[in-house]
A and B are shown apart, each in its own frame.
Chain A
Amino acid sequence: MLAWLATWLKQIIAVVLLAGLIDLLLPNKTMQRYVRLVAGLIILLTLLSPIIRLLQGDFDTRLNASFENWLKAPPSKEFKMPTLEDIQRDADALRRKQEAAAAALTEKQLAAAMSEALERGTGLQVMSVSVRLEGDGKTEPASLQGVEVTLDSMEDNGAEVDPGASDHSPGGTDTDSKSAGTSATPDSNKEVQPVEPVDSVSVFVQVDPDDSDDADARQTADKGYSLVDGRTAEVIRRVLNEGWSVPPDLVRVRIATGDGSSTGRAS
């Protein structure tokens, strides 16, 4: 008992001495209040240590653990100053992302404008227009790499416009009544007549071997779509060429077939 009391008193004396020493060692007065607070807390802990030990058993290990936690925590969440390479890499990534976003926006708006112009200019039901741009946009302006026009399977038998279209009717299109795009009737009224929806359209197309040279390359259309050549595609290409000076060979016209079973090309 006496020995325990002796060690306790020795601890208190040592801690108080320590606190006095650090008070002396402190450089200036502004830090003094804070250091005194911490020193006072340590003295308090030393004074209370018998009570704490009585109540909670071993508190030294807990204190040690929390201190270790605290001492170890700063390196783990240490703020790492990014190096120049990191910053440049981030900048590159951000720029690429921004360019991609700008290109995507350009493609979208171009596609929307083309779609609107096609619907207004040809009267066709354009389902979607997808534009592919390439180029980094920094050294040279992005160049058009391809335009894909997807026509709706519901064909309108509305006005086939574009009066300057050469009026050769494409050979070998055996289509049923309202499929395969623009029937070549050059009716001159330009108002679009209402379209009655068609459930499924089957397109029967005979392949004209004449223009199958590049069409074979395009034969690899997606399932459910069939490529459109000939009159409709010509009109579309002309509209795109006049509006955006798209080279005609970059335009790919396809039509969504209703059930995805019939594939064929109107030639």
Chain B
Amino acid sequence: MEIIQIVGLGLITTILILVVREQKPMFAFLLAAFTGLFIFLYMIGKIETVISVLEQLADRSGIPSIYLKTILKIIGIAYIAEFGAQIVRDAGQESVASKIEFAGKVLILVMAVPIIGVIVETVIGLLPAGS
């Protein structure tokens, strides 16, 4: 039961942070950041199974692999941006965190550019045929 380990780790970290924060706020922040990083890396291994299932699904249904690649990239960008933003937000830098989130949004939207290109071309090609 990994969830118990994770929750236990989180509880211990929280108590430690509460103890340490009075004396050294810097160490409290470092502790929080490290714990977040640890849980993130620990869970990335679990996400891998989900991703492999998704790949099997895509394979069997015959959708182009480029779709799956794009979607996985989007998930990765979202996770990493969110994680970094939360660490920065813990340190009290709200503005920097919002910039990180902004960068994540922009990169996700850039992912859509090739798809939008194909759709727009199709629609434009459709119009003279209809008239």
> A residues engaging B (CB < 8 A)?
7, 10-11, 13-15, 17-19, 21-22, 25-28, 30-31, 34-35, 37-39, 41-42, 44-46, 48, 51-52, 55-56, 59-60, 62-64, 66-67, 69-70
Contact = CB atoms under 8 A, between A and B. Distances in A.
B54 interface: yes
B87 to A, nearest CB: 13
B95 to A, nearest CB: 15
Contacts of B71: 18-19, 22, 38-39, 42
Interface stretch (B5-13, B20-28, B29-37, B57-65): B57-65
B42 to A, nearest CB: 15
B66 A41 contact: no
B92 to A, nearest CB: 19
Contacts of B78: 26-27, 31, 35
A21 B74 CA distance: 12
Interface of B: 47, 50, 54, 57-58, 60-64, 66-71, 74-75, 78-79, 81-83, 101, 104-105, 108-119, 121-122, 125-126, 129
B75 A44 contact: no
Contact of B74 (A22, A48, A52, A63): A22
A61 to B, nearest CB: 10
A18 B58 contact: yes
Contacts of B69: 67
A31 B81 contact: yes
